[in-house]
Amino acid sequence: MKPDTRTAMHELIAQVRETLPFDAPATQTCSGECRGCSLKLLDYLDGELCGWEQRLEAGDTPNFGDLSRLAKTSRKVYAALEKNGFSDRR
């Protein structure tokens, strides 16, 4: 049986938090040439994740579009971090 959208959102948030280096120091984030600011991208995605965590805690139920958008945003941030050579520094 597939999980409901609330459970799926919790799992997506946990996976993103586990995969991306949100706790990396800023000096490590901003070294060398960049194609998009890794620090700003991580801050933006962290804000999105925190927003969904608060909404879930308040009882909101995401729809499939919400899940899809958050997953797509997370993939784009991950790709940008890879281009900057940052995602593998964790």
Give this prediction's pTM: 0.83
- Domain borders along the chain are 37-90
Residue 88 carries which DSSP code?
A: G
Please give the share of the chain, as a percent, with pLDDT higher than 90.
Answer: 59
| Cα 62 → chain centroid | 16
Q: What is the predicted pLDDT for the residue at 38? A: 81
- Reported as half-sphere exposure (CB side, CA atoms, 13 A), residue 65 has a value of 0
Tokens of 49: 């994740």
Structure tokens at 83: 């281009």
pLDDT digits (tens, 9 = 90+) for 47-86: 999 999 999 999 999 999 999 999 999 999 999 888 877 7
